[in-house]
Structure 1
Amino acid sequence: MSDVILKTSHLTKEFKGFTAVSDVNLSVRRGSIHALIGPNGAGKTTCFNLLTKFLVPTSGTIHFNGHDITHEQPAQIARRGVIRSFQISAVFPHLTLMENVRLGLQRKLGTSYHFWRSQSSLNQLNGRALELLAEVGLEDLADEVTVNLPYGRKRALEIATTLAMEPELMLLDEPTQGMGHEDVDRVTQLIKKVSAGRTILMVEHNMKVIATIADCITVLQRGAVLAEGPYEEVSKNPQVMEAYMGTTDGQLQGAH
């Protein structure tokens, strides 16, 4: 089982009689890019919120690296190396790129609230911050104020700040949402690049992105697992086509 980094058993979340996540058994292999897909309202974000402990499951268990983390707090999960990048760009607009990444590094050091510390004490983090910016292709913009970045570059910066937390498992929530084709392609390649030596679980609507980089896909519908497997297999599944397109003819590629 050591090749499974994250495992859920019968994971269920109910809200006042409505079941948002229903009996989900998920196994994410170490070192893979695993995509969670499904129509709107399928329970993908609720599932993410359960995994990162922003919600408490009604029933079921979550194991990470063999440890039962079902009842742990979000900060404990983060210390274990489960780090989530949010759907809405979570960077500070009026700080430079370098300062944003440095904050991520500070959080890892446990000095995140020591804002009274001198600026020079943070300079020790500059080298690592530059390395992370280089990893996402932004090193030339280190001193640029974040608000001036185009949207796709902001998402790349967000991935750099997520990497600063040294994730063993990165959860990416719709990383290409709202992007033009060029940015989508750039961020897709970036995710592929930063996945080396890490595990990525992502919620994503864009089928082209998933077809390009996902090793395994879990399809949710009405909170339950509808299908699971590689893209080639899942995209030809008649139930999946119907869930996405209301038809069993045609291919899944059209469903963005």
Structure 2
Amino acid sequence: MTTGHPQDCILETRGMTKEFRGFIAVNDVSLKVRRGDIHALIGPNGAGKTTCFNLLTKFLTPTRGTILFNGDDITSLKPAQIARRGVIRSFQISAVFPHLTVLENVRIGLQRNTGWSFRFWQGERSLKALDARAMELLEQVDLQAFAKTVTVNLPYGRKRALEIATTLAMEPELMLLDEPTQGMGHEDVDRVTQLIKKVSAGRTILMVEHNMNVISSIADRITVLARGAVLCEGDYATVSKDPAVLEVYMGTSEVELEGAH
């Protein structure tokens, strides 16, 4: 069990380390994610952010260290087991079925949650019963007008919104977002940023994100990684003024850190 008040800390890592043939990709990372927060994981390329995500979602096993979720040790669990506990990851590359409609994509997420996964002989009437909930989720992400659109025809930013809807369909208690605004134009970034803020109500979000404007506008707490280790942690005002952080983010990134509002 966690020390202190586990009800305030939904996810904790203690000394989480990952080595690949002598290279230490994640080095003694101890992280606490508070329940209800939007917690951002940032750092320059090669800092170990994606490896951390892979460790937390069990696509990789730590070389050493412990991962706790709601006070329970989940270090040795498999990805499907932690997903059933409510730890759901939205992938960096949009993970939707391109040739199904927007509604059908969300319905598949709902099927996974009902235990109907891959039962393709499930009656059409049973599947239709999920449509009302699917439409509710599409309304949450402002995609109700696109319900019958084949997903491949969606603009990129809308595909990311759909991915968030399919993640929500699995009822995450902790939602992990991997670069949710990557590759987007300004308008899409603003829309998805507001969407993340909206869907954070009643759940906890841990996100990897490069865009400092996004971080500064919605993150409650920020952990900065550099060379696989925690460099600094705090709110945006604290992190953006930390000399060690500014040293890591040299050049344009330093200006971006100082200039984002």
* Common fold by TM > 0.5: yes
Contact 1:4 1:29 in 2 (8 A): yes
- Matched position secondary structure for 2:81: helix
Q: State the partner residue of 1:185.
A: 190
C-alpha contact 1:242 1:248 (8 A) present in aligned 2 = no
Q: Provide the C-alpha distance between the structure 1 equivalents of 2:44 and 2:183, rounded to a whole number of angstroms.
A: 17
Match of 2:110 in 1: 105
User: Does the C-alpha gap of structure 1 residues 236 and 248 become closer, same or farther in structure 2, counting only changes over 3 Å?
Assistant: farther
Query: Residue 113 of structure 1: CA displacement?
Result: 1.3
One-letter code of the match for 1:14?
A: E
5 Å matches for 1:176-215?
176-215=181-220
Please name the residue that 2:177 is paired with: 172
One-letter amino acid matched to 2:131 = N
Q: Deviations over 1:5-31 (max 9, x none)?
A: 000000000000000000000000000
Distance in 2, matches of 1:141 and 1:84, equals 23
- For residues 232 and 214 of structure 2, the distance between their equivalents in structure 1, rounded to whole angstroms, comes to 18
Q: Residues 119, 246 of structure 1: CA spacing in aligned structure 2 closer, same or farther, 3 A cutoff? A: same
Cα deviation for residue 246 of structure 1 reads 5.7
2:247 to 231, 242, 246: 242
Separation in 1, partners of 2:167, 2:31: 23
Whether the 8 Å contact between 2:16 and 2:62 is mirrored in structure 1 is yes
Q: Percent identity?
A: 75
The answer on whether the counterparts of 1:156 and 1:187 sit within 8 Å (CA) in structure 2 is yes
Quote the Cα distance in structure 2 between the aligned partners of 1:68 and 1:122: 36
Q: Counterpart of 2:168?
A: 163
Instruction: Give, in whole Å, the separation in 2 of the partners of 1:38 and 1:78.
Output: 26
Cα deviation, residue 248, structure 1: 11
Q: Deviation per CA, 1:148-183: give whole Å up to 9, x if none.
A: 110000000000000000000000000000000000
In 2, Cα distance between equivalents of 1:251 and 1:131: 37
Q: Which residue of 2 aligns with 1:19?
A: 24
Structure 1 residue 254 displacement after superposition: 6.0
Distance change >3 Å, CA 210–CA 249, structure 1 → 2: closer
2:200 alignment partner AA: S
Match of 2:238 among 220, 233, 238: 233
Task: Measure, in 2, the Cα distance between the counterparts of 1:189 and 1:247.
Answer: 25
Instruction: Quote how far apart the aligned CAs of 1:112 are.
Output: 0.8
- What CA distance in whole angstroms lies between the structure 1 residues aligned with 2:165 and 2:148? 15
| Distance in 2, Cα, partners of 1:7 & 1:248 | 29
- Give runs of aligned pairs for residues 79-98 of structure 1, distance below 5 A: 79-98=84-103
- Alignment partner for residue 135 of structure 2, among 130, 153, 162? 130
Structure 1 residue 252: Cα displacement:
1.4
Shift, 1:193, TM fit: 0.2
User: Residues 84-130 of structure 1, C-alpha deviation per residue, up to 9 Å, x if partnerless?
Assistant: 00000000111011000000000001111101222222001000000
1:216 Cα offset (Å): 0.2
1:65 alignment partner in structure 2: 70
SS of 1:147's equivalent? helix
Please give the secondary structure, in 2, of the residue aligned with 1:21: strand
Partners of 2:245 and 2:126 lie apart in 1 by 53
Aligned mates of 1:166, 1:135 — CA distance in 2: 13
- Answer yes or no: is 1:28 the counterpart of 2:33: yes
> Do the aligned residues in 2 keep the contact of 1:41 with 1:222 (CA within 8 Å)?
yes
Q: Taking structure 1 as reference, are residues 22 and 246 closer, same or farther at Cα in structure 2, changes over 3 Å only?
A: farther
What one-letter code is carried by the residue in structure 1 that aligns with 2:177?
L
Aligned-residue offset at 1:200: 0.1
Instruction: Name the structure 2 match of 1:54.
Output: 59
Name the CA distance, whole Å, in 2 between partners of 1:246 and 1:156. Answer: 32
Residue ranges of structure 2 left out of the alignment (5+ in a row): none
Partner of residue 143 from structure 1, selected from 139, 148, 160: 148
Distance 2:244 2:101 in 1: 47
